[in-house]
């Protein structure tokens, strides 16, 4: 990999374009954000943050296969990039590739077993696989770490198959 040498002005310009992209993501304008991230990536194709945010913006547009391409570029350089791992897991989840999604969640949980967000998403995938026992055990772990996930689960459509389960009701009430 060849490192491109930038003048400080070019670096500032790239950072400026990147920040405009982030601003658009934060304001709910994923198409505009992608425009700016593409500008950054045209100069610095391996700009990790631009790739992650572009993947996120593509995901917001339902373009999960395209978002995975961005995350794969990040993971090629940094296989343990936590945000790329979880976002790729989420994209796979939305593509209904639950086993693959779970494998990405597990990579994070190996190093960070108390990550409530990842546990919650793994539980969602397990629930959609109709693996209610594992889904409930993992959901309970997430809720024990952060009680907000009980409130979130109560309204999450991923848990539709568990609504009548007494254990689910106890966890989410």
| Burial class, 97, CB count within 10 angstroms (exposed 0-12 / middle 13-18 / buried 19+) | middle
Q: How many folded domains does the chain comprise?
A: 2
30/11 Cα distance (integer angstroms) = 23
Is the Cβ–Cβ distance between 68 and 58 less than 8 Å? no
**Whole-number percent of the chain with pLDDT over 70:** 93
Same domain membership, residue 86 and residue 33: yes
For residues 131 and 91, membership in a common domain is answered with no
> What is the distance between the alpha carbons of residues 164 and 173, in angstroms, rounded to a whole number?
13
Domain boundary among 69, 98, 127: 98
Res 126: pLDDT: 98
pLDDT tens for each residue of 125-168: 999 999 999 999 999 999 999 999 999 999 999 999 999 999 99
Model confidence pTM above 0.85: yes
- Listed as own residue / partner, the contacts of 118-125 with beta carbons closer than 8 Å and 24 or more positions apart are 118/86, 118/89, 119/145, 119/149, 120/149, 120/152, 120/153, 121/86, 121/89, 121/90, 121/93, 123/153, 124/93, 124/156, 124/158, 124/159, 125/93, 125/98, 125/101, 125/158
Residue 79 placed within a domain: yes
CB atoms within 10 A of CB 152: 18
pLDDT of residue 43: 92
Residues 80, 137 within the same domain: no
In a domain, 106, yes or no: no
Q: Is 64 inside any structural domain? A: yes
The verdict on residue 103 lying in a domain is no
CATH at residue 49:
1.25.40.10
More confident residue, 11 or 51: 51
Query: How does residue 169 score in pLDDT terms, banded at 50, 70 and 90?
Result: very high
Q: What integer pLDDT is reported at residue 64 of this predicted model? A: 98
Task: Answer whether residue 108 is part of any domain.
Answer: no
Q: What is the DSSP letter of 161?
A: G
Within this chain, do residues 84 and 31 fall inside the same structural domain, yes or no? yes
Same domain? For 17 and 75 the reply is yes
Q: Give the integer Cα–Cα distance in Å for 171 and 153.
A: 9
* Residue 85 scores a pLDDT above 50: yes
Place of tokens 């994070």: 108
Q: Residue 148's domain spans which residues?
A: 113-173
- Convert the pLDDT of each residue in 62-78 to its tens digit: 999 999 999 999 999 99
Tell me, yes or no, whether 93 and 172 share the same domain: no
Same domain as 123, residue 75: no
Nearest-angstrom CA–CA distance, 74 and 68: 10
Q: Is residue 104 part of a domain?
A: no
Domain boundary among 44, 74, 98: 98
CA nearest to 53, candidates 18, 80, 78: 18
pLDDT of 13:
87
Do 89 and 56 fall into the same domain? yes
127 and 94: one domain? no
Same domain, 29 and 67: yes
Is residue 93 within 8 Å of residue 101, measured between CB atoms?
Answer: yes
């Amino acid at each position: 990999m060849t490192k491109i040498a930038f003048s400080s002005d070019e670096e500032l310009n790239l950072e400026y374009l990147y920040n405009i992209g982030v601003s658009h993501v934060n304001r709910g304008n994923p198409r505009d954000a992608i425009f700016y991230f593409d500008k950054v990536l045209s100069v610095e194709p391996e700009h990790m943050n631009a790739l992650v945010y572009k993947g996120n913006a593509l995901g917001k547009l339902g373009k999960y296969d395209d978002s995975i391409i961005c995350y794969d570029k990040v993971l090629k350089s940094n296989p343990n990039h936590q945000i790329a791992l979880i976002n790729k897991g989420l994209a796979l989840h939305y593509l209904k590739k639950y086993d693959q999604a779970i494998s990405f969640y597990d990579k994070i949980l190996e190093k960070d077993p108390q990550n409530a967000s990842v546990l919650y998403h793994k539980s969602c995938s397990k629930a959609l696989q109709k693996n209610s026992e594992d889904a409930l055990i993992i959901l309970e772990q997430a809720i024990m770490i952060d009680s907000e996930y009980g409130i979130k689960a109560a309204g999450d459509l991923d848990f539709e198959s568990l609504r009548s389960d007494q254990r689910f009701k106890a966890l989410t009430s």
